[in-house]
Structure 1
Amino acid sequence: MAVYTHLGAEELARLISEYDVGELISAKGIAEGVSNSNWLVETSGTGAGTQRFILTMYERRIELSDLPYFLGLLDHLSERSCPVPRTIHDRGGAAYRMERGKAVAMIEYLPGVSPTRPTPAQASAVGAALARIHIEGRDFPLRRANTMGFADNLAILEFCGQEALGGIHPELPALLAPAREAAALDLSALPRANIHADLFPDNVLMLGKQVTGMIDFYFACTDVMALDLATTHAAWCFHADTNVYDPERGEALLSAYQAVRPLEEDERALFGRIAQGAALRFVASRAEDWLDTPEDALVTRKDPMEFAARWRFYAENGDRLLA
């Protein structure tokens, strides 16, 4: 279970009392998440009926200096009616508090389930929702650099080294060359906004075909919108069991996105190469995690070759996706 710090009932009740949400009724640890401690909290509420929230303690990976950006972006998008949970501020107006030397934030609970086998209709809804947060996020005043850009991915692969990469799979060292090409790609003329940057199906809540929540904005940054679209395409449009591309899902996502925010000509021309770089990001991060995780660890290591295959798909077909 992803609860690294255990808070007692009295501690949780005292913490919840700092918010105008009523009294604590229950708090249950949430298994999802690998970097933070999370609880599903139920309170007595301030009106009719109880209320539920997600309480998060930031344990690692997230810099304290980034929290105003992450939490502020949630509020900004939520205020503009995007399906994004708002931050619950404490009685003093703070978006997060310090508990045991760690930052703690309370986030609005949104209904829905993450799809495990997305349909074309669900991919369409996600494409439209992604375009909306791009449009509404452009005027958010804070900025954050992308720490998982193409140059960062190359640096990770080079740090792993050819020998170690080959130990994971013999084909991995060959991906250093396309990673260098991606790092050299000039995207400076493409339109930018504040983007999610990690919109996998498990970061989306849905009720049927409706997107009810886009969550886990902890890779969000200010970068090229087409990169976010390509990342989402790579995450949503391949069958989970076979890793084969689903053209209906892919076309639905891209068409719905462009119905809300049509791509510029330069974005369309570079989309195939951007998608290759997006796939290589997860090759790099998974290779790094693979090498950092002991073989006997009670953690299932994610295979970087899954996204190596998706990179190959984009290398061979990316230029035709928006034709």
Structure 2
Amino acid sequence: MAVFTAVTLDDLNQWIKQFPLGQALALKGIASGIENSNFFLTTERGEYVLTIFENLDFDQLPFYLQLMRHLARRGIPVPDPVPNEHGELVVPLHGKPAAVVTKLEGASQMDPQPVHCAEAGTMLARMHLAARDFPLQQPNLRGLDWWLETAPKVMPFLSPENAQLLSSEIAFQQAFAGTDTYRQLAHGPVHADLFRNNVMFVGDKLTGCFDFYFAGCDTWLFDVAVTVNDWCIDQQSGKLDPARLSALLDAYHAVRPFTDADRAAWQTMLRAAALRFWLSRLYDLHLPREAELLTPHDPTHFERILRDRVEHASQELPA
């Protein structure tokens, strides 16, 4: 993630002693994303990731970190948070909440083929089922309430055409959220940000997924739509690629079968997933925060995707 809070090895000399990790040997800032300060951390015990949370507070973080521990203990390949000597997963560093998690093996597959999409679909379904008995509750903090709150803040920066698109789509999604179909969708903890760069592979084998700091309780179908809108598209046009789409959806369906409600809501959820990331990228572009390393994403990418999902129906979910 972008480095908002600078940290040095000297800063870690005393802090790291509370963890069973030995001495800190190397620290490198990760210059991608725009939410937290992330670092690759090498210690005498191995490779880890140190995160300093810039937006989330001490009260919010137990949901994310406990969810990761819950999934890790059920065989889902995710980073496992490391507790300190008091059993705490979140501890202050430079006055901000911080955590250390295990580092995954592999590298992200930024040009996924159907085989990679199938791996992602299988893991996503397994993750949803594994989290069914997770006891903590927290809404998706970038869901409908956030859309309604944030849209007026970015409206002054938009062209009339884009302002109309944003207003109409939020109204459409707000109306759908009140329907029986929406209420029938399976609901539980979701990753909500399972982009290609948050999943690791060794060859064609998926070795893990990370960055759970947008996770929350939402419909499982929304999580599938977020994933599809990144993994299964032509990057230039935003249009869905049938081969990759079928591979991901078929693999997911084999583990957690889609329902009639899922099939009825699919096109709407694809639009919702595109809206969420278009709006967040508009916000980050026009109302940025300062950071030592900052790489804002282009919002026009998800504008194209949203317009395509509004205008063209996707292939149906597997039956």
Fold shared by both chains (TM-score > 0.5): yes
Per the TM alignment, residue 42 of structure 1 is displaced from its structure 2 partner at its CA by: 1.7
Distance 2:229 2:212 in 1: 18
> Is the Cα–Cα contact under 8 Å of residues 200 and 236 in structure 1 kept in the other structure?
yes
Cα 1:20–1:302 change in 2 (3 A) is closer
Cα 1:319–1:246 change in 2 (3 A) is closer
Cα 1:33–1:312 change in 2 (3 A) is closer
* Corresponding residue number in structure 2 for 1:240: 235
> Is the Cα–Cα contact under 8 Å of residues 154 and 176 in structure 1 kept in the other structure?
no
* Corresponding residue number in structure 2 for 1:136: 130
Determine what percentage of the aligned residue pairs are the same residue: 34
Mean CA deviation greater in 205-214 or 74-83:
205-214
Per the TM alignment, residue 124 of structure 1 is displaced from its structure 2 partner at its CA by: 0.8
Per the TM alignment, residue 151 of structure 1 is displaced from its structure 2 partner at its CA by: 4.4
What amino acid is aligned across from residue 40 of structure 1 in structure 2?
F
Unaligned runs of 5+ in 1: 46-50
Mean CA deviation greater in 144-153 or 222-231:
144-153
* Corresponding residue number in structure 1 for 2:62: 68
What amino acid is aligned across from residue 76 of structure 1 in structure 2?
H
Query: Please, which of 154, 171, 187 is the counterpart of residue 180 of structure 1?
Result: 171
1:98 partner SS:
strand
Per the TM alignment, residue 85 of structure 1 is displaced from its structure 2 partner at its CA by: 0.9
Runs of 4+ in 1 over 4 A off after TM superposition: 297-301
Query: Please, which of 159, 171, 181 is the counterpart of residue 166 of structure 1?
Result: 159
Distance 1:202 1:292 in 2: 24
TM (normalized to structure 1)?
Answer: 0.89
Cα 1:6–1:149 change in 2 (3 A) is closer
1:1-323 aligned at under 5 Å gives the runs 2-45=2-45, 51-58=46-53, 60-161=54-155, 164-166=157-159, 170-185=161-176, 186=179, 187-293=182-288, 301-318=296-313, 320-322=315-317
What amino acid is aligned across from residue 311 of structure 1 in structure 2?
L
Q: Highest relative contact order (Cα 8 Å, sep 6+), 1 or 2?
A: 2
1:193 partner SS:
strand
1:320 partner SS:
coil
1:188 partner SS:
helix
Per the TM alignment, residue 188 of structure 1 is displaced from its structure 2 partner at its CA by: 2.0
Deviations 1:237-292 (A, max 9, x none): 11224433211111111111111100111111111111111111122112222322
2:157 partner SS:
helix
Deviations 1:79-108 (A, max 9, x none): 001011110111111112112211111100
Distance 1:131 1:101 in 2: 37
Unaligned runs of 5+ in 2: none
> Is the Cα–Cα contact under 8 Å of residues 154 and 180 in structure 1 kept in the other structure?
no
Per the TM alignment, residue 134 of structure 1 is displaced from its structure 2 partner at its CA by: 0.3
> Is the Cα–Cα contact under 8 Å of residues 205 and 214 in structure 1 kept in the other structure?
yes
What amino acid is aligned across from residue 255 of structure 2 in structure 1?
V
Distance 1:141 1:106 in 2: 22
Distance 2:302 2:55 in 1: 23
